[in-house]
Structure 1
Amino acid sequence: MKKTYLLLFHLFLFTTLSFAQSNFKPGYVVTLKGDTVKGEVDYKEWGSNPTSIRFRTPDNKISNFTTADINYFSIDKLDIYQRYKGPVSHDETNSNRVTGGRDTSFIVQDVFLKVLQTGKVINLYSYSDAVKPRYFYSDPSADNSVHELVYRVYYNGNTSEIQKGNTTTEARYLQQLTAIALKANLLDDQMQQMIEAAEYSQPYLLRMATKMNGYTKEQVALTQPSSNNDAFELYAGAGVNITTTKSLDQDGKAVGSPYTSVLPRVLLGFNAYINPNTRRLFFSVELSLTDIKYKDRYSGATYSFNQLAATLTPSISYNIYNSDDFKFYLSLGVGISHYSIFNKKFNKYDGSPLPEAYLPFFFSSYNNAITYKAGALLGKRFQVYVQHLYGNPISRDSFYSMKQTSNNFGINYILGKQK
């Protein structure tokens, strides 16, 4: 329990310091009067649409802007946000959290919508907050006013609706998309099938917008502000594991001498970036395999064993320095290890074996340890790191216990990237 609290404290401190970091990127804002001001936007790991931004002008003056100050802001080649004032739905759409009947409630809000795509037939936007994600559209051939694509989930006994378990799904956004396609003379059988299959999610709706606007892949790259950075990358690595094993008596006093093992370590893992554009905050999961040796003397006898440790390590990392070709990061995680103990030997000084009844340790088959890591990404493909695993007990019994502390050094290679 103490280890869990320690990890949670470090995680809170780590994420707090991470989000406090500045990350200014070239961009511009458009004021309520229509004036364009060039400068830099502090580009954060926005889990929801931002309510305000920090903007730095070329003379290094920093200002905070909200929807009361600007109509529009852009981070070059990354993201665009547009001011919207109007109704925003507030009904729950997660079927696990729906508690009542059909809810058409909304609040008139002044928010920044993220621009997903602009085109001649439809402009597509997204807005996410603590309640749910939502999608909006506008018709550039009309008055270009923005409307929410309506999607509801609720309890209702009306069997004429589409039933999903105990809930009813009202997919009015499909009718809205059909009306847009019909107005643009695009509603053929293929378009109708595509609309009917469209889920209320960004990939499906972006695919619909791309089809309606008649964009090729090259045109999409020009009209969608988000870059093509991938959110997910695989890597493999090799390195050295340096583990020091200490034996302790029931009072916590050292028994014998600490033994340090230096052996190879291999791993396979992946990184998942919270925002593929900023590529600052990311989660990692890696599986490593290493051999550990131990040898010591006890009251006229020698004791030794080999320990094969398979460790699954989920972690959260943050790129403190974040350029295209060089990144420096800190990481905090927990190593969950499974042990296989083999080649155990308990001998007299003359080499003759002692009875197994005298074996001094009862080993744990698994354990966990808090991990700290610092590393750097070089040239987009090679990652070097140093990692520390905080005191990990591997055995417990009435008389003796063993505790290990490990330091890992190595190099990883980014194998490939997937969206």
Structure 2
Amino acid sequence: MKKILTLLIIAFPLLANAQYNFKKGSLTLPDHEKIQGSIDLREGQLNPTIVNFQAADGSIKQYTPETCLSYDIEGYEKYESYKIPITLSKIKVIELSNGIDTSTKTEAIFLRLLSEGKNVKLYSYRDNLKMRFFIKEAKDAVPYELIRQIYLSAGSNGIAETKKTYLKQLSDLISKYAANESKNIERVGYYQKEIAKVVQVINGAGNQEVTVVNKAPGSRFFAGVGLNVNKLDFVAAQSPGKKIPNDAVFAPTLAVGIDFLINPAIGRLIFRTEASAYTSDHSIDAYNEDEIYPRAHHSFKQASFVISPQFLYNFYNTQKLKVYGTAGFALHLSKFSSISTESLTPGFQPMRTEGGNNLSLRELLIAYPISAGVCLNNKFQLYLGYTAPVSVTGGVANYKINVARYKLGVNYLFGRAN
């Protein structure tokens, strides 16, 4: 099973790179011709630099800000392209300039349309440097940036200061288009929600925010069943490189949990919290160094409750089929019972010890599971899982018992998600 999981993990990046997420949309060319088709909706916080467009005949063509005036993914996103100056001042504390950095560069970019009205349009643009907001007045051909500059001033002893030019820009727009409105903007932060409220005042009743219509839920519940295959190894301190294998133990498991979709419109990256429970009966032979016959035979029953936070990533992501992997950690809370040890005396006579006086077991441990699986029709997940060996013994120095877990399971997803 480990080999299968390894092969799947190697194949995941190939699946991710080859996959599109097309949604119905339209694209406007430089000659103002509007073409209908499907547009690749990508996950990520940065504004796109290219857009993949699929025509009715299935052919795919890439467009850039130089070859596309605008595009609209119906119910999701709208972008317009402009060749404009953008500021280059940094915002990370360790990268702040001494004094105000007024440097800019001019390039063609895709701006995401946030809201529009009779007077102005509001856009956002995020690249690897920072988030920026732009305003385009109805009379103007191109938008301009709402400027915020964070810097270290002389004599500030390393304390950052902020020049909020955007407040003056917004104030001028209110005076120009909504002089009768009283709006105190001195405390308006450089955030989408706060700036959008000011733009709503500027545009008045005709303002329209560009919202996501086809918004999938941001969370969903799931329930599942599975089969744990627990493989125990005995390792003696006298011969740490020698592992004594024992028969695998099969343990049915039940699971419930909740998924939080990082970007519900796409549903590629998910934070999952899972709770599961299982019971199992274990028996294991213990050897001393180079012995042919076991020195002792341990047995115990285990009931465990497991909490596992993890990240799930859909490397291949379509409505009908998803191929995914998960990784995280698992907190095992266990209760042990029926602990007994059968040992051999120096004369090789059996001696049974009830209560496990010679066996110390950990009721709390942390493990690190991974899994790979497929999701069918956004409802059923089939997966294989593996947890690296972890010691279930504690407080002893002369031996340890390691358990590796393999898991085969199925989950049912409740609710709608992309």
Partner of 1:260: 250
The Cα of 1:225 is off from its aligned counterpart by: 5.2
Partner of 1:310: 306
Separation in structure 1 between the aligned mates of residue 326 and residue 274 of structure 2, nearest angstrom: 15
The Cα of 1:374 is off from its aligned counterpart by: 2.4
2:172 counterpart SS class: helix
Deviation string 1:220-242 (CA, Å, 9 cap, x unpaired) is: 4xx51533515731425353452
Contact kept in structure 2, 1:364 and 1:394, CA below 8 Å = no
Separation in structure 2 between the aligned mates of residue 112 and residue 387 of structure 1, nearest angstrom: 41
1:197 counterpart SS class: coil
Contact kept in structure 1, 2:76 and 2:214, CA below 8 Å = no
Partner of 1:401: 401
2:12 counterpart SS class: helix
RMSD of the TM alignment (CA)? 3.5
Q: TM-score, normalised by structure 2?
A: 0.80
The Cα of 1:102 is off from its aligned counterpart by: 1.3
Deviation string 1:382-404 (CA, Å, 9 cap, x unpaired) is: 55443513333233664342222
Separation in structure 2 between the aligned mates of residue 399 and residue 68 of structure 1, nearest angstrom: 68
1:269 paired to 2:267 = no
Separation in structure 1 between the aligned mates of residue 97 and residue 74 of structure 2, nearest angstrom: 42
Aligned CA distance change for structure 1 residues 389 and 99 (closer, same or farther; 3 Å)? farther
Partner of 1:346: 340
Separation in structure 2 between the aligned mates of residue 215 and residue 388 of structure 1, nearest angstrom: 55
1:248 is aligned with what amino acid? F
Aligned CA distance change for structure 1 residues 96 and 377 (closer, same or farther; 3 Å)? farther
The Cα of 1:177 is off from its aligned counterpart by: 1.2
Separation in structure 2 between the aligned mates of residue 148 and residue 12 of structure 1, nearest angstrom: 43
Deviation string 1:152-200 (CA, Å, 9 cap, x unpaired) is: 11111588xxx9x8110111111111111111125533x22xx333221
Larger Rg: 2
Matching residue within 229, 236, 254 for 2:215: 229
The Cα of 1:345 is off from its aligned counterpart by: 0.7
Contact kept in structure 2, 1:312 and 1:336, CA below 8 Å = yes
Contact kept in structure 1, 2:260 and 2:270, CA below 8 Å = yes
Q: Which residues of 2 match residues 264-413 of structure 1 at below 5 A?
A: 265-274=254-263, 276-277=264-265, 279-296=266-283, 298=285, 299=294, 301-318=297-314, 320-323=316-319, 328-343=322-337, 345-348=339-342, 353-354=353-354, 356-359=356-359, 363=362, 365-376=364-375, 384-395=381-392, 398-407=398-407, 409-412=409-412
1:246 paired to 2:232 = yes
Aligned CA distance change for structure 1 residues 332 and 215 (closer, same or farther; 3 Å)? farther
Separation in structure 2 between the aligned mates of residue 9 and residue 409 of structure 1, nearest angstrom: 19
Contact kept in structure 2, 1:26 and 1:40, CA below 8 Å = yes
Unaligned runs of 5+ residues in structure 2 are 286-293, 344-349
Aligned CA distance change for structure 1 residues 143 and 363 (closer, same or farther; 3 Å)? same
Matching residue within 179, 198, 201 for 1:208: 198
1:388 is aligned with what amino acid? G
Q: Which is further off, 144-153 or 366-375?
A: 366-375
Deviation string 1:249-308 (CA, Å, 9 cap, x unpaired) is: 344444442222224x3333332233x33x141121314232332321545745103242
Separation in structure 2 between the aligned mates of residue 336 and residue 101 of structure 1, nearest angstrom: 49
For these two proteins, the number of residue pairs brought into alignment is 392
Matching residue within 146, 152, 155 for 2:152: 155
Aligned CA distance change for structure 1 residues 187 and 252 (closer, same or farther; 3 Å)? farther
2:313 is aligned with what amino acid? S
Aligned CA distance change for structure 1 residues 388 and 146 (closer, same or farther; 3 Å)? same
Contact kept in structure 2, 1:235 and 1:416, CA below 8 Å = no
Contact kept in structure 1, 2:13 and 2:315, CA below 8 Å = no
| Structure 1 runs, 4 residues or longer, greater than 6 Å off | 7-13
Contact kept in structure 2, 1:292 and 1:309, CA below 8 Å = no
Partner of 1:185: 178
Separation in structure 2 between the aligned mates of residue 10 and residue 102 of structure 1, nearest angstrom: 50
Contact kept in structure 2, 1:125 and 1:136, CA below 8 Å = yes
Contact kept in structure 2, 1:241 and 1:290, CA below 8 Å = no
1:366 counterpart SS class: strand
Aligned CA distance change for structure 1 residues 297 and 78 (closer, same or farther; 3 Å)? closer
